[in-house]
């Protein structure tokens, strides 16, 4: 066991600010004080403090605190002896007996770290000094990967062999059992060991302090799976991995951390000077990955080539980022492109322009929802609102949440108050207070503020032949904001074409499809009014309704034009502008 003098030497040689900065970003606050986000609990305010002079840390949020040893014990889940050895290795202090305090778990981890280090060296040698590695070196060269990056990212290759790593590391006293425990070989049902990674470009996966804890292998050609990862081991858990975080955490700038999807994206961005880029190993972020990123920056830029807006698992990850109070922006990439291809084709300037144009996450996802769903009918507006509701609810800032509701109202063409009420009803429905179908109907009615007038017009239409003619002649189905009422109006028009006229009495006594019957059953038929009174009311209501419908359609078109211009889609903006002019001519 380490002596007291050795422990004190380790403590003296450990700069607590450098140590803690490996896990969370600190800002100076006074001569010897530093503040940051606590790495041990979720918080929005920086309540974590480090005293550089006294070599102590404390969180006023979760009330944890201590010295350099207790910090490592907490953050790395080690016992005291393991923490002493961890820091001694970091500080370059030789301990009297570093092995005696080791727990069995620590011994296993240390041995697997050694095995992984040997494996990384083996894969590197295959890449650089074997015929099998030539094609991978050529591939990397064609992708613009430099010799310096090959070394920095410890890139390698695996032989097209069933026992390449078993034979090579066996000469260094690594057993097949240890290789299996590290996830480098597979044991079949008969007990035979064989290499897991064969004929693949190898990406060593490192933890936040730079230790190799696993590997990812990219297949050559069309072999499947395209990427193969180390399975879960005592060292490796994919859900807790963020690729290249050990490098990126030292280069976090004003934009924060750039989250990408792939290893080659990260390498390309680092080469182009965007060294805060990391890969989340897929678009579906886990809580552990979110917390890892948050330790080093409260700002994140999402730069995925997949459609994260259309993937529910990805959206759950975004919600976690929002819930933790992070500043999130999203880079828009052209179809078929990724950060690697953007940099390769257009250089650093091309990606820098994309970063400069990055949207606030809420604007991005709202635009994507409207593109995918539409925002013409109340049902579409309800669906878009349903997609955006979790993002609004996760927003921790009241002022920002109000701004988001205002944006929803503007983009969907409904009042902010209706958006607020609809979101409340959706939340109550999810909590089990009311049947979803009942809530959906109410929300849809709120998304169509003109429904009362539309229903009244249909009631008037069914009150007399003269009123029916006025309504059927002057309106179009598109004038109805409620799609069901619009469809019923179209049905009435077709009925008139088929029968050569429209007698409300004959119509109401005819047999109709169930969709029409449901609408008719909900219409309060006017009673006691004369035909003259019905026609007079029809004329009055129609004038106001047509003006309101025209105004709504013009407003919708103007919003769509603004969004198309914002998205840089000039062709769509021009097409919509033509529609706008045509509609204005009819005023």
CA distance 518 to 456: 16
CATH class, range 245-357: alpha beta
Burial of 388 (C-beta count, 10 Å sphere; 0-12/13-18/19+):
buried
pLDDT > 60? residue 435: no
- pTM for this entry: 0.70
Please tell me the class of the 104-206 domain. Answer: alpha beta
Alpha helices in 375-435 (DSSP H): 378-394, 398-412, 416-430
In the chain, what are the domain boundaries? 4-91, 104-206, 245-357, 365-446, 451-585
Q: How far apart are CA 251 and CA 152, in angstroms?
A: 15
pLDDT of residue 101: 47
Pick the CATH number of 451-585 from 1.10.3470, 1.20.120, 1.10.760, 1.10.860: 1.10.860
Which helix or strand (DSSP H or E) is residue 359 part of?
strand 359-360
Q: How confident is the model at residue 171 (pLDDT cuts 50, 70, 90)?
A: very high
pLDDT band, very low/low/confident/very high, at 550 (cuts 50, 70, 90): confident
Question: pLDDT averaged over the chain?
Answer: 87
Instruction: From the options 3.10.20.30, 3.10.20.600, 3.90.580.10, 3.40.980.10, give the CATH code of 4-91.
Output: 3.90.580.10
DSSP string, 74-114: HHHT--HHHHHHHHHHHHT---S-SSTT--HHHHHHHHHHH
Rounded CA gap, 557 and 548, in Å? 14
- pLDDT value of position 574: 84
Q: Cis ω on the peptide bond leading into residue 552 (within 30° of 0)? A: no
Q: Would you say 112 and 178 are in contact if contact means Cβ atoms under 8 Å apart?
A: yes
Are the beta carbons of 290 and 284 closer than 8 angstroms? no
Which secondary-structure segment (H or E) carries 327? strand 327-330
Q: Please tell me the chain's helix, strand, coil percentages from 3-state DSSP, rounded to the nearest 5.
A: 55, 10, 35
198 and 160 Cβ atoms separated by less than 8 Å: yes
Dihedral Cα 148, 224, 333, 317, nearest 10 deg = -100
Determine the Cα–Cα distance for residues 202 and 150; give it in Å rounded to an integer: 11
pLDDT tens readout for residues 106-164: 789 889 999 999 999 999 999 999 999 999 999 999 999 999 999 999 999 999 999 99
Whether 451 contacts 482, CB under 8 Å? yes
Over range 420-426, report the average pLDDT.
84
Tens of pLDDT, residue by residue over 200-231, are: 999 999 988 889 999 999 999 888 899 999 99
Structure tokens at 401: 């949440």
Tell me, what's the pLDDT at 4? 81
């Amino acid at each position: 066991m380490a002596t007291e003098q050795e422990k004190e030497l380790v403590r003296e040689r450990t700069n607590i600010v450098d140590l803690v900065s490996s896990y969370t970003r600190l800002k100076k606050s006074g001569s010897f004080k530093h503040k940051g986000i606590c790495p041990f609990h979720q918080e929005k305010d920086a309540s974590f403090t480090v005293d550089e002079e006294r070599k102590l840390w404390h969180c006023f949020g979760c009330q944890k605190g201590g010295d350099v040893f207790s910090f490592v014990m907490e953050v790395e889940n080690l016992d005291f002896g393991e923490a002493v050895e961890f820091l001694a290795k970091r500080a370059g202090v030789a301990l009297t007996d570093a092995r005696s305090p080791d727990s069995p778990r620590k011994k296993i981890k240390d041995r697997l770290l050694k095995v992984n280090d040997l494996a990384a060296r083996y894969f590197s040698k295959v890449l650089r000094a074997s015929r099998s590695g030539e094609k991978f070196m050529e591939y990397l060269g064609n992708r613009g990967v430099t010799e310096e990056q090959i070394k920095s990212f410890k890139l390698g290759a695996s032989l097209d062999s069933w026992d390449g790593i078993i034979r090579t590391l066996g000469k260094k006293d690594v057993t097949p059992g240890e290789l299996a425990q590290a996830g480098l070989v597979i044991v079949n049902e008969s007990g035979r060991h064989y290499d897991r990674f064969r004929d693949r470009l190898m990406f060593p996966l490192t933890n936040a302090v730079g230790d190799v804890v696993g590997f990812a292998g990219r297949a050559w050609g069309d072999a499947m799976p395209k990427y193969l990862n180390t399975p879960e081991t005592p060292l490796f858990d994919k859900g807790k991995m963020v690729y290249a975080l050990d490098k990126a955490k030292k280069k976090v700038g004003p934009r924060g951390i750039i989250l990408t999807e792939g290893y080659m994206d990260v390498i390309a961005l680092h080469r182009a000077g965007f060294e805060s880029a990391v890969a989340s190993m897929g678009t579906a972020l886990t809580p552990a990955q979110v917390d890892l990123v948050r330790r080093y920056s409260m700002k994140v830029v999402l730069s995925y080539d997949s459609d994260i807006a259309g993937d529910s698992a990805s959206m759950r990850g975004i919600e976690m980022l929002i819930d933790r109070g992070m500043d999130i922006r999203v880079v828009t990439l052209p179809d078929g492109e990724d950060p690697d291809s953007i940099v390769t084709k257009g250089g650093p300037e091309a990606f820098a322009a994309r970063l400069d144009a990055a949207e606030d996450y809420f604007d991005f996802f709202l635009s994507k929802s409207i593109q995918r769903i539409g925002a013409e009918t109340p049902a579409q507006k309800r669906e878009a609102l349903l997609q955006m509701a979790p993002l609004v609810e996760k927003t921790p800032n009241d002022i920002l949440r109000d701004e988001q509701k205002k944006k929803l109202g503007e983009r969907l063409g409904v009042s902010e108050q209706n958006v607020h009420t609809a979101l409340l009803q959706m939340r109550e429905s999810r909590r089990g207070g009311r049947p979803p179908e009942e809530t959906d109907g109410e929300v849809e009615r709120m998304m169509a503020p003109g429904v009362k007038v539309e229903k009244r017009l249909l009631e008037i239409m069914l009150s007399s032949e003269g009123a029916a003619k006025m309504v059927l002649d002057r309106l179009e189905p598109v004038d109805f904001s409620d799609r069901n009422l619009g469809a019923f109006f179209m049905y009435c028009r077709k009925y008139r074409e088929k029968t050569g006229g429209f007698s409300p009495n004959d119509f109401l006594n005819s047999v109709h499809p169930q969709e029409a019957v449901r609408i008719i059953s909900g219409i309060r038929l006017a009673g006691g009014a004369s035909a003259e009174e019905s026609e007079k009311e029809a004329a009055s209501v129609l004038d106001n309704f047509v003006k309101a419908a025209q105004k709504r359609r013009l407003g919708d078109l103007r919003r769509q034009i603004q969004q198309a211009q914002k998205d840089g889609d000039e062709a769509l903006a021009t097409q919509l502008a033509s529609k706008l002019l045509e509609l204005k001519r009819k005023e």
